[in-house]
Each structure stands twice: as structure tokens, then as C-alpha cells.
Chains A and B, each alone.
Chain A
Amino acid sequence: MRPLLNDFLFIKAVLFLNLRKQVSSLGPFLLQFIFVIGNNGVLFLVWWIFFQKFKDIRGWTLSDISILYGAVTGAYGLVIIFAGGVFHLGRMILEGELDFYITQPKGILTRALCSSPSLSGFGDLFASFIFFKMSGGVGLSHLPVLGIALLIGALVLLCSVVIVQSLAFWVRSTEVLARQFLELTVLFSVYPKTLFVGSLQILLFSVIPSGFLGYLPADLIKDFSWEKLGIGIGAVCVYGVMAFVVFHMGLRKYESGSRFGMGV
């Protein structure tokens, strides 16, 4: 228990330091915050326009889409804030940037993930709560479920991106693959799940984890059940173990970049 607490305190300190570094230039931070909210809002506007013409999409209304958007943007925001380094992991591996973390006593993966948090994630989180509020179906009583649902989505997204980015240990460049993977995962997760049936739905709950990023968390918020929660926790465990194993298998093949540098 003690090492876990130590790790937690360490992560907190690193994140706090990195975030403080970014807040030091308040202007760009505020601008990013506003642009991220605008960015999310504009996409949602398309759905609003859509539902002005059409009543529903196989039973899905604007309120359902609103909850789905809230779940996805919230989870994405959490990943960016707490583990923003995951989006640069492939580059770190390729350019030998892991050298810096290998020599330190804390976990290499943990340190790499915490290395570049982005404050724009707060914009996503804020937008997420606006979406939940707009749905009309989420109140204060949902707060605990909301937290759990967002955490499930964020952890599954984080672990799946770690897996894809870790392929850089074997393949020369994973930049495009990782970007496309993220885009596809987010893209599928913001459309009603009723559009996808059969093998496509299986794909969305496995190779492309859009189901665990959007559909399951949204279902949990709308209609909580212990069974769904169990599935969510199970998914986090499976993706988590896979991410850990793939990263550490790859680490054995890692070649030093002989880099000199400083960082927090």
C-alpha cells in the first residue's frame, strides 16, 4: 500500500509542476481553454441541426447524444490532463527520450505518461459538464456514477493508446497509425451505437475501443447497473494488463538514444 501511495504522491507532484509551468503563460492557456470548448460545441451544433429535422436515430435523441458527447469529451480531457505524455510515447521511444526516465527510481511508463500534461484538457472537462447539463437527464445525484464512467472511458482510452504507441518499439514510425487509431476511436464513439450491429459492434468493443470510451460510460450514466459497471471495470483490467505487458515487452528491445537533457 505504501509504494502505491508514494507513487500517487509522486505523480501528483510531477503533474502539479508541469501544469504550473503551463499556467505561467496565462494568455495562451485561456485561449486554448476557450478554443477547446468552442471546438466541442461546434461539433455538437451539427447534431442539434440534425435533430431539428429528424426526430430520432433508431431511438436515440439529442439528449442521448449529449450524454455520449459528455462521456467522450470528459474521458478524453482526463487523459490529456493526467497522462498527456501518452500521445508522444511513440516519439519518445523512437528518439530515445526514455533514457531520462530509465535512470529514475519511479516507473518508466508512469513517468513518461505524466511528462506532458495539457491544460487544454480542462476545456474538454468543462465542455463535458456542459453537455451533461444540456442533456437534461443528468443531475447532482449522478455525480458519483459520472466520475466512475468518465474514469472507465479515460483508462480504456489511455491503455489502448499506450498499446498502439508502444508498437514504436518494433515498427519504425507509429505516428500516423497512432493518430488514425485515436481519430477512429473518437469518431465511432460519438455516433449512436444503434447504427452499428453485428461484427462492427464487436470491433467497437475490442480492437477499436469506442464502446468503452463512449457507449458503456453513457449507458452507465443513463441507466446504472452493477453488471455494466462490472463490464467496465473488467475492460479496464484487460486493456490495462495488455498495455503493461506490451510496453514492458517492448522496453526489452529499447535502444538508448544517448540523450542528454533536463526535464520534470
Chain B
Amino acid sequence: MGAVSAFKKYLCFVEMGMKRGFERKWDILGRVIFYGVILVIFSKLWTSVDLLAVGNSKVHTQGLIWYLAISEWIVLSVPLIYIEIESEIRRGDLLYFEGKPISYPTMKISEGIGELLPYLGILGCAGVIFAWALSGSLPEPPFNLLKIVPIGILAGIVSLIVQVAIGLSAHWIQSATPVYWLWQKVGYVLGGVMLPLPLYPDALEKIARASPFPVLLSGAAEGVLYGDSDFLINTMGMLFFWCAASIFLVIGVFQKCQDRMSRDGG
């Protein structure tokens, strides 16, 4: 019974986040434009280089456009919840949540999930239109496009959980923005957002594969690019693992925050 009521409680935050997400029409439009521009730039880039040099028949212009469309779909759909957490910490608002019957990190993640869903839906539709228009075809087999939906949702949730930990870091370093930048940019490189990991030098590819970024950002895209039939199960399995790891991270960081607050105040 307790678990059900807790679930309903946080479901309200998901609904609130969803309403907020749909209200941000200009932000969504801005992201759609940015998404389109990125795809146009990269479609021009891929048509300007000699892809035969890669020596892989599966790496072709159309495939690479779909690859980028899918990886950027996940990157651009995740709302930046760390900013709000950071400012709440700066204002000392976190202390007020201590007396309430809710968990602050879970509340933030729930709100974030609510915002994530409309972004995933709208950017997903835009991405399919852009990538189809720029590449002139659907990926093979087209059914793989449906498989990426659960991956996108779970990858977005894991990114949100990590953002909570990043936002909470403002407790110690005042501004969490540089930490987020580093997470984001390292993610771009190790996640293979712009270039598929098999195009990387071997050593760097090994380092990247050991990190959570490929599965978070390009697991779905690689599955579609290479037409892999098992990618859904493999990627989801890895995502559940990283989801658990990131939850432990947030629990640890939030515990430290609470200790600091009870010692030094908000």
C-alpha cells in the first residue's frame, strides 16, 4: 500500500513535469531547429568526405545521417534539470524539503521524466522527418526504429538521474555548470554521438566502451546503423545496469548533502 501511494505521489510530479514540458513551446521549437541544423551540417560533412576510406560497407552517408539523428534525439530530449537543482541549493531551498514527506532527488527525477516524454515524442517525429528527407531513405530494417523508443526513454531517465548528482554537486563547488559541461562533452566524445565508435582509434574505442556513454547516447543508433537484431535486449540490459549505478551515486551524494546541511545549515 505504501509503495502504491508513493508511486501515485511521484506520478503527480511526472504529470506536472509533462505539463511544464508542453508549455515550453519556444524551447521545443528552438531544439527542433537546432536538431535540423546539426543534421544538415553533418549530412554535408558526410557527403564531403571519402567514406570508402573507412573500409566498412555498412558505414555510408544515409546510415550515418540516421545514426546522428538517433544519437542527437537522445541528447537533445533530456531537460536540463541540474540548473534548477543548482539554483535551489544556492537559495538554500533544499532545507525546506527536509521536512516534507517526499524525497527531493526522486521528486526532481519524476518532474524530469515528465518533461522528457514530450521532448522525446516531438523531437522523435522531427528527427524521422529530417533524417528521411536528408538521407532519402529509411534505415534497414525500418522496424528497428520502433525498438529505439524504450531505449530512448531509459537512456533519458539515466541521464536525468546523473544530472541530479551533478546539480547536487553545487553544494560544494557553487556552480555545477562546469561539471555538467564536462559530463556533456566527455559524453559527446566517448558516447560516439557524432562519429560511430568503430571509426575511433582502437585504444580510444576500448576506453569509450568501458564508460556508460556509448550505451546511453549511441547504443540505439549503432543498432540501427549496423542493422543488429539483438541490440534492443543488449542495450536495455546495459541501461538497467547503469541506471542502478546512477541511483546509488545519487543516494550517496544526497546523503553527503544532508550531512552537510545538518552540520552547516542550508
Contacts and interface: CB of A to CB of B under 8 A. Distances in A.
Greatest chain A CB density within 10 A among B54, B181, B195, B201 is at B181
B182 interface: yes
Nearest to A58: B48
B89 to A, nearest CB: 14
Nearest to A180: B30
B189 interface: yes
Given A191-B45, A195-B45, 20 more contacts: A25-B174, A28-B174, A35-B178, A35-B179, A35-B182, A36-B178, A36-B181, A38-B185, A42-B186, A42-B188, A46-B188, A49-B199, A50-B195, A54-B50, A176-B24, A176-B26, A184-B37, A187-B34, A195-B44, A195-B48
Interface of B: 24, 26-27, 30, 33-34, 37-38, 41, 44-45, 48-50, 53-54, 173-175, 178-179, 181-182, 185-186, 188-189, 194-195, 199-201, 204
Contacts of B26: 173, 176-177
Contact of A39 (B37, B185, B201): B185
A53 B53 contact: yes
B45 to A, nearest CB: 6
A136 B24 CA distance: 46
27 contacts: A28-B175, A31-B173, A32-B175, A35-B179, A35-B181, A38-B182, A39-B182, A42-B182, A42-B188, A43-B185, A46-B188, A46-B194, A46-B195, A49-B189, A49-B200, A49-B201, A52-B201, A53-B54, A57-B48, A177-B26, A179-B30, A180-B30, A183-B34, A187-B38, A191-B41, A195-B48, A196-B44
Contacts of A26: none
A45 B189 contact: yes
A49 B30 contact: no
Contacts of A25: 174
A208 B33 CA distance: 13
Nearest to A194: B48
B185 to A, nearest CB: 4
A57 B178 CA distance: 31
A36 B175 CA distance: 13
B54 A42 contact: no
B140 to A, nearest CB: 23
Contacts of B24: 176
Given A46-B195, A53-B54, A188-B41, A176 B182 contact: no
A200 B182 CA distance: 31
Interface in A36-78: 36, 38-39, 42-43, 45-46, 49-50, 52-55, 57-58
Contacts of B44: 195-196
Nearest to A56: B49
A184 B32 CA distance: 12
Most-contacted residue by chain B among A180, A183, A188 (CB, 10 A): A180
A178 B244 CA distance: 37
Contacts of A191: 41, 45
Most B C-beta atoms less than 10 A away, residue of A55, A120, A173, A195:
A195
A54 B195 contact: no
